[in-house]
Amino acid sequence: MIALGAAGGGILGAVILVCYLLSGQRGTIPPDPVAVDSIFSSVILGFMYGVPLGAVSLPVGYGIFLRRTRLRPALWLAAATTFTGGCLGALLHPFAATEFGLLGFIIGCIIARFKFAA
């Protein structure tokens, strides 16, 4: 479960920061605290934030919310809400993507708890 969370967190973190880079918001927040001036640096930074957060949050979220659900649909829903929250947070500020992504994950886990109960 830790490896799955780390992989998912890394991939989602990288995709969210690439979306931030491609949105054109870079440079609108003076000074830009994150060096996301290229796709490569945003992927690396997304992995650096996403891997540890995913490695911790998925086992905790599974233990609290998803223990009695069908796992595959619940994880897809949690990943979709994490992506949505992270992208919305990244549009506000690049560091807000982490908090909004985690909030999206929690909301997705709560919805999956009731929607995909086994």
Dihedral sign computed on CA atoms, order 13, 8, 39, 35: positive
17 to 60, 73, 89: CA distances (angstroms): 24, 25, 10
Q: Please report, to the nearest 10 degrees, the dihedral formed by the alpha carbons of residues 88, 28, 20, 7 taken in order.
A: -90
Tens digit of pLDDT per residue, the chain (118 long)?
899 999 999 999 999 988 888 887 665 554 555 556 778 888 888 899 899 999 999 999 999 998 889 889 999 999 999 999 999 998 887 778 889 999 999 999 999 999 988 7
Tokens of 111: 């919805």
DSSP for 89-116, written as a single string: HHHH-TTHHHHHHHHHHHHHHHHHHHHS
Ordered alpha helix ranges (H), the chain:
2-22, 39-61, 71-92, 96-115
Domain total in the chain: 1
pLDDT for position 11: 95
Give the residue numbers spanning the domain of 81.
Answer: 2-115
